[in-house]
Chain A
Amino acid sequence: MEIPYTVSTRPDTGLWNAKVGIWLFLASEVMLFGGLFSAYIFLRLDAPPGMWPHGLLNVPVGTMNTAILILSSVTVVLAWAALKMRRYRAYWWYMLATISCGVIFLTVKLAYEWPQKFEHFGAYIKPEALGKYEQYLGNKHAAEKDLPPRLEITGHLHNRAALNDPNIKEYEVALDPLNADPTNPAMDRPHFFPLPVTDKIAKIEKEDVERATMFLPTHSAYFASYFTITGLHGMHVLGGVLVFIYMWLPVSKKLYQRNPEHLANRVEVAGLFWHFVDLIWIFVFPLFYLL
Chain B
Amino acid sequence: MDAATSLETHPHAAEHEHHELGWWRKYIFSTDHKVIGIQYGFTGLIFLFFGFSLMMLMRWQLAYPGQALPEIGKFLPHIFGPNTMPDGKMTPDFYNSLGAMHGTIMVFLGIVPLAFAAFGNFVVPLQIGAPDMAFPKVNMASYWAVFVGGIVMLTSFFVPGGAAKSGWTSYVPLAAVADTGPGHLPIFNGQTLWLIGFIFLITSSLLGAINFIATIIQLRAKGLTWMRLPFFVWAQFVTAFLLLLAFPPLEAGIIMQLMDRVAATSFFMPAGLVVNGAAMQISGGGSPLLWQHLFWFLAHPEVYVLILPGMGIVAEILANNSRKPLWGYKSLVFSVLTIGFLSFIVWAHHMWLTGMGSAVSAFFQTTTLIISIPSVIILSAFFISLWGGSIRFTVPMLFATAFLPMFGIGGLTGIPLAFNSADLYLHDTYYVIAHFHYIVAPGTIFALFAGIYYWFPKATGRKMNNFWGKVHFWPTLICMNVIFLPMFLQGMLGMHRRWYDGGQGWTLSGEHVWGLTGFQWNTPISWAAWIMGLAQIPFIINFFWSIKHGKKVNDNPWEATTLEWTAPSPPPHGNFITAPIAYRGPYEYSLPGRDRDYTMQNEPVEPSERVRRKTAEPVLV
Contact = CB atoms under 8 A, between A and B. Distances in A.
A17 B248 contact: no
Contacts of B213: 20, 24
Contacts of A10: 218
B267 A2 contact: no
A224 to B, nearest CB: 4
Contacts of B263: 216-218, 224, 227
B528 interface: no
Given A5-B219, A220-B285, A27 B576 contact: no
Interface in A72-93: none
A13 B281 contact: no
B245 A27 contact: yes
A211 interface: yes
Given A1-B575, A4-B219, A39-B294, A218 B285 contact: no
A214 B132 CA distance: 53
Contact of B252 (A2, A16, A39, A43): A39
A108 B563 CA distance: 56
B423 interface: no
B466 interface: no
Contacts of B259: 217, 224, 228
Interface in A1-46: 1-5, 10-13, 15-18, 20-21, 24-25, 27-36, 38-39, 42-43, 46
Nearest to A24: B210
Contact of B285 (A11, A32, A47, A213): A47
Contact of A29 (B218, B248, B297): B248
Interface string A255-268: 00000000000000
Nearest to B254: A35
B132 A3 contact: yes
Interface string B206-220: 100111011001110
Interface string B190-211: 0000000000000000100111
Contacts of B285: 43, 46-48, 51, 220-221
A219 interface: yes
Nearest to A30: B248
B35 interface: no
Nearest to B578: A1
Interface string B237-275: 000000011111111110110010001111100000000
A12 B256 contact: no
Contact of A21 (B134, B136, B621): B134
A161 interface: no
A220 B283 contact: yes
Contact of B287 (A12, A25, A46, A219): A46
Nearest to B297: A35
A20 B217 contact: yes
B369 interface: no
A232 interface: yes
B500 to A, nearest CB: 33
Max chain B Cβ within 10 angstroms of own Cβ: one of A16, A30, A34, A218? A218
Nearest to A1: B131
Interface in A205-249: 211, 213, 216-221, 224-225, 227-228, 232
A185 B286 CA distance: 32
B227 interface: no
A217 B265 contact: yes
Contacts of B251: 32, 35
A28 B206 contact: yes
Chain A at the B interface: SS class: helix
A18 B213 CA distance: 11
B218 A32 contact: no
A20 B287 contact: no
A1 B579 contact: yes
Given A24-B209, A228-B256, A35 B294 contact: yes
A221 B219 contact: no
A71 B229 CA distance: 45
A28 B210 contact: yes
B411 to A, nearest CB: 27
Contacts of B130: 3
Interface string A93-107: 000000000000000
Contact of B249 (A31, A211, A220): A31
A256 B293 CA distance: 47
B241 to A, nearest CB: 9
A25 B214 CA distance: 10
Nearest to A2: B131
Nearest to B211: A21
B248 A24 contact: no
Contacts of B475: none
Max chain B Cβ within 10 angstroms of own Cβ: one of A1, A20, A34, A46? A1
Contacts of A216: 263
A39 B267 CA distance: 8
A39 B256 contact: yes
A138 to B, nearest CB: 23
Contacts of A46: 285, 287
Interface in B277-312: 281-283, 285-287, 290, 293-294, 297
Contact of A43 (B247, B282, B286): B286
B135 interface: yes
A15 B283 contact: no
A224 B218 contact: no
B244 A43 contact: no
A219 B264 CA distance: 9
Nearest to A38: B249
A219 B283 contact: yes
A42 B135 contact: no
A144 B247 CA distance: 47
B25 to A, nearest CB: 17
Contact of A35 (B134, B252, B575): B252
B574 interface: yes
Given A42-B287, A218-B282, A224 B294 contact: no
B214 A36 contact: no
A218 B284 CA distance: 9
B355 to A, nearest CB: 14
Contact of B267 (A32, A43, A213): A43
Contacts of A13: 217-218
B256 A21 contact: no
Contacts of B293: 38, 42
A211 B264 CA distance: 13
25 contacts: A1-B576, A2-B131, A3-B130, A3-B132, A13-B217, A15-B217, A17-B134, A17-B135, A18-B135, A20-B214, A21-B135, A21-B214, A28-B244, A28-B247, A28-B248, A31-B245, A31-B246, A51-B285, A217-B259, A217-B264, A218-B263, A220-B285, A221-B265, A221-B286, A228-B265
Interface of B: 130-132, 134-136, 138, 206, 209-211, 213-214, 217-219, 244-253, 255-256, 259, 263-267, 281-283, 285-287, 290, 293-294, 297, 574-576, 578-579, 621
Given A28-B248, A36-B256, A232-B255, 9 more contacts: A11-B621, A16-B218, A18-B135, A24-B244, A31-B248, A39-B294, A217-B263, A217-B264, A224-B256
Shortest beta-carbon contacts, A-B, top 10: A35-B252, A35-B249, A1-B131, A32-B248, A224-B265, A31-B248, A221-B285, A218-B264, A1-B574, A20-B214
